[in-house]
């Protein structure tokens, strides 16, 4: 029996990872090569129900956990395009995913669990940064290349099974004199059809925000949050489920510490989110641990 609890964004997973941008989102990287790494963990659950016209009740429960190590080789040339600094990156990730689900309808029920480890999809990104005093801007374009571990009949996957494009921009206010920083990143995701399931996730919009106070030259603390909303229903799901869209809101704390390893500057950031509202997708919490290693600076010290 193929058990697939109803979740908008196919399988309850969106191309855009809510919370992936936080503070300092529009601050341009230093020219050269760098390798940001992001350790990401998510745990959530979903409960949903639907009463059909003939009176039959359908109920579903799902628990999901996901652990990934994003590795993001990045090149920022010492050049200018349209007055801004360009940056190019490619994100890849080994990951582990585990999902269990139970569905009941008309007095019958079934349950199933799946887990998988492997490599996820590839995510190339192009960014362009500008600066004017305390104001900083960034625009980006990103794509999802569906090459990760994915099987349409499996509950747990580390690939999405379909391609996607996301475009957007960010603004960062950073005042070194007062030590205050505020960032907002907004974008829109366009999904392509999954060729294995003939399912297309609906277009979505998203907002990531962060605010921080520099408590010293090395240490900062603050808050982060995100909001995600599908603005177009999925295509390929049963019409019995109606206009099927997902949304989620999360908020939490963050801390960061910048230090020197010899002559090499290292940036670290830890932020956590608790989801306070969710619809048609799991609701839970997540952690992001970011460490940025500037390879070019390391090579200059050798």
Q: Using one digit for the tens of pLDDT, what is the confidence trace for 174-204?
A: 999 999 999 999 999 999 999 998 889 899 9
pLDDT of the residue at 282: 87
241-265 tens-digit pLDDT: 556 788 999 999 999 998 877 777 8
pLDDT of the residue at 153: 84
Domain covering 10-301, topology: Porin (2.40.160)
- Delimit the domains of the chain by residue range: 10-301
- Which range, 48-52, 84-88, 235-239, is most confident? 84-88
Share of the chain above pLDDT 90, in %: 64
* φ, ψ for residue 14, nearest 5 deg: -100, 155
Whole-angstrom distance, CA of residue 278 vs CA of residue 284: 9
| Mean pLDDT of the residues in the chain | 87
pLDDT of the residue at 4: 46
pLDDT of the residue at 62: 80
Other Cβ atoms within 10 Å of 53 Cβ, number: 6
Residues 6+ apart with CB under 8 A from 24: 172, 174, 181, 183, 210, 212
């Amino acid at each position: 029996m193929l058990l697939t609890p109803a979740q908008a964004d196919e399988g309850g997973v969106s191309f855009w990872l809510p919370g992936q941008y936080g503070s300092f989102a529009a601050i341009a990287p230093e020219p050269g090569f760098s390798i940001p790494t992001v350790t990401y963990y998510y745990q959530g659950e979903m409960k949903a129900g639907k009463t059909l016209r003939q009176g039959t009740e359908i109920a579903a429960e799902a628990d999901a956990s996901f652990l990934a190590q994003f590795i993001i080789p990045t090149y920022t040339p010492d050049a200018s395009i349209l007055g801004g600094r360009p940056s190019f990156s490619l994100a890849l990730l080994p990951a582990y995913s585990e999902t269990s689900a139970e569905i009941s309808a008309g007095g019958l029920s079934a349950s199933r669990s799946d887990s998988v480890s492997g490599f996820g999809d590839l995510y190339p990104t192009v960014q362009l940064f500008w600066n004017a005093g305390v104001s900083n801007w960034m625009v980006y374009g990103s794509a999802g290349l569906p090459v990760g571990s994915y099987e349409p009949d499996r509950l747990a996957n580390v690939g999405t099974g379909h391609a996607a494009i996301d475009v957007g921009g960010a603004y960062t206010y950073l005042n070194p004199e007062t030590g205050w920083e505020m960032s907002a990143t907004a974008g829109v995701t366009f999904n392509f059809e999954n060729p294995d399931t003939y399912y297309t996730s609906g277009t979505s919009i998203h907002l990531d925000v962060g605010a921080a106070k520099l408590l010293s030259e090395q240490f900062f603390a603050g808050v982060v949050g995100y909001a995600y909303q599908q603005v177009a229903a999925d295509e390929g799901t049963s019409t019995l489920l109606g206009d099927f869209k997902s949304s989620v809101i999360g908020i939490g704390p963050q801390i960061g510490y910048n230090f020197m390893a010899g002559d090499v500057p290292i940036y670290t950031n830890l932020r956590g989110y608790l989801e306070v509202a969710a619809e048609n997708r799991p609701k839970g919490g997540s952690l992001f641990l970011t460490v940025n290693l500037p390879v070019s600076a390391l090579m200059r010290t050798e």
